[in-house]
Homo-oligomer: A and B are copies of this chain.
Amino acid sequence: MTGRATAEAPANIAFIKYWGAHDLGRGVPLNTSVSMTLDRCVSTCTVETRPAKSDDPGSADEVFLAESDGLQPAPEAFARRVLNHLDRLRCLVDDDVAFRVATKNSFPAAAGMASSASGFAALTLATTRALGLDPSRHELSVLARRSGSGSAARSVLGGYVELPGGPHEEDVYARPLASAEDWELRDVVAVVATEPKSVSSLEGHRRVRSSPYFRERLALLPGRLDAVRQAIEGRDFHLLGPVVEEEGIDLHLVAMSAIPPIFYWTPGTIETLDGVRKLRRDGVEAYSTMDAGPNVHVICRPADEAQVAERLTELASVQRVIRDGVGSGPRLCEDHLL
């Protein structure tokens, strides 16, 4: 069986964070999360299938990064996660196939943006298509999640997306809350650090459950979720923003109180969080949020995007600013990386 497909899938920024897992290996979160799918920050992935020896088809799999100067072997840790996911997807068909995979991101890996959501969503879509399958978005979400990247499950849909938490794995797939056309928001990312973070998101999901505040955080989330859903339903940015900012800080409060504690913030994080509060005092409605890392995503309306980007650029510790907005989700591409 021979096939080839290329898919592009976007990153997303969570308004309500997935933080702490029921089942880390299968990407089953403890809590419901909500995100905005991005537009320009995307991963592109080409997958080729070919017949393989039946005794160990996975041994012939190959994983490349598509660099500007050609294909490069993927770094081992990254390749390992991709190969593990290919093993899962191989089980969808009866034939013995081997995969060749090439992947790239529209945003520099060193920009400190999470690429696992977009990467595994693109890999899942491209692989299933290369296998001749046509999964629904629901099925695609489940398959992408089983990569272990719970946020990849959200990147299969555009616009504003909700992913229920566990424990029932079969319920954990992305649901649309609103489309990209329904509400145009922007995400201006202040990149303040580009080194790999000291503690991976996976280790974070594991460790935050030890925070003495984790249980109370879970108790707070239904209220925040209601506010975010209502804000998206009513396009109410004034309702959305403060909840998003509180939630972004909260992720770090439980991380810093975990045992042992996890510290993701850098001096630049603090400068940027302060800069966002100053922006608001100057009448520009913008709100910060962060993933499990030091960079700050600043959510604003389109009319304020230029000013937000300008002010963030002026901050001494901001290395670069990435301007993105809400996007329409993954798509198949005609141009292949292999």
Q: Of the candidates B215, B250, B261, B266, which one forms a contact with A270 in the assembled complex, judged by CB atoms under 8 Å apart?
A: B266
**Which of A266, A269, A270, A317 is packed against the most chain B CB atoms within 10 Å?**
A270
A190 to chain B, nearest CB (A): 13
Complexed CA–CA distance, A246 and B274 (Å): 24
A268 to chain B, nearest CB (A): 7
Identical chains in the assembly: 2
Interface size class of A (residues with CB under 8 A): 20 to 34
Flag if A253 contacts B317 (CB, 8 Å).
Answer: no
CB-CB < 8 A to A16: which residues of B?
A: none
A127 to chain B, nearest CB (A): 40
CB-CB < 8 A to A219: which residues of B?
A: 212
**Which of A246, A253, A261 is packed against the most chain B CB atoms within 10 Å?**
A253
CB-CB < 8 A to A257: which residues of B?
A: 249-250, 253
A321 at the interface (CB under 8 A from B): no
Flag if B220 contacts A246 (CB, 8 Å).
Answer: no
A266 to chain B, nearest CB (A): 6
A95 to chain B, nearest CB (A): 51
CB-CB < 8 A to A253: which residues of B?
A: 213, 253, 256-257
CB within 8 Å for A267 and B261 given contacts A213-B253, A220-B212 = no
Between-chain CB contacts (< 8 Å), 26 pairs? A212-B216, A212-B219, A212-B220, A213-B213, A213-B216, A213-B253, A215-B216, A216-B216, A246-B261, A249-B256, A249-B257, A249-B261, A253-B253, A253-B256, A253-B257, A263-B273, A263-B274, A263-B277, A265-B270, A266-B270, A267-B267, A267-B268, A267-B270, A267-B317, A269-B270, A270-B270
Top-8 shortest CB links A-B: A267-B267, A213-B213, A267-B270, A253-B253, A267-B271, A212-B216, A270-B270, A265-B270
